[in-house]
Amino acid sequence: RDIIDRSLVEVRLRNESTGQYQRCRVIHLVSEVEATAWFEASGKSIEVRVEVAPELEVLIDRHLIISALSNLVQNAIKFTKQGGIVWIRGKAVGARVLLEIEDQCGGLPPGEVEELFKAFSQMGTDKSGLGIGLTISRRAVSLNKGILSVRDVPHQGCVFSIDLPLASSPLLTT
């Protein structure tokens, strides 16, 4: 399912220069992703915790952002050690919405942060997947006037951030 979803998103990213934008509550997007991640997380005794301000709204291509967010949460679950916690946070920062997915992967080797976003690059010992999820996710977020980045927390984990304009932001009209 994940491979098919990523393939469909990749086809859309290559063939559509503009998205199908709609106003969405961030809490609804996160709840949908959390519900689909629950089974995988529970199989590893991982808890998925959500902290999202309920009033946040974005104007996005829902399918592309759900795909990016799902990929980040699935990766967080994949690399978090059994019994760990994956956080999904959402808050307003000025005229932007910052979505953060924090895992407990143990951190990254020095100098490897941007390597994560290269196509067919896979870190760690678990080589399941194709190594294109983060590349596709970054493009999907970019088409929604956003930025996807990662911050290493040494010896603890990673925090992936999706930075999007608030639905009421004037930047959406450009």
Residue 93, Ramachandran bin (φ over 0: left; ψ between -120 and 50: alpha; else beta): beta
Convert the pLDDT of each residue in 6-46 to its tens digit: 455 555 555 555 568 899 999 999 999 999 999 999 999 99
Average pLDDT, the chain: 82
The structure tokens 């911050």 sit at 151
| Residue 134 confidence (pLDDT) | 87
Per-residue pLDDT at 174: 40
- Residue 104, pLDDT > 70, answer yes
Model pLDDT for residues 135-167, shown as the tens digit of each residue: 889 989 999 999 999 998 989 999 999 999 999
Helix (H, G, I), strand (E, B) or coil at 26: helix
Task: Tell me which fold the domain 2-173 belongs to.
Answer: Heat Shock Protein 90 (3.30.565)
Q: Where are the domains of the chain?
A: 2-173
pTM to 2 decimals? 0.80
- Comparing 53 with 128, the larger pLDDT belongs to 53
Q: What is the pLDDT of residues 119-137, one digit of tens each?
A: 545 455 554 444 577 888 9
Question: For residues 155 and 59, what is the distance between their CA atoms, to the nearest angstrom?
Answer: 36
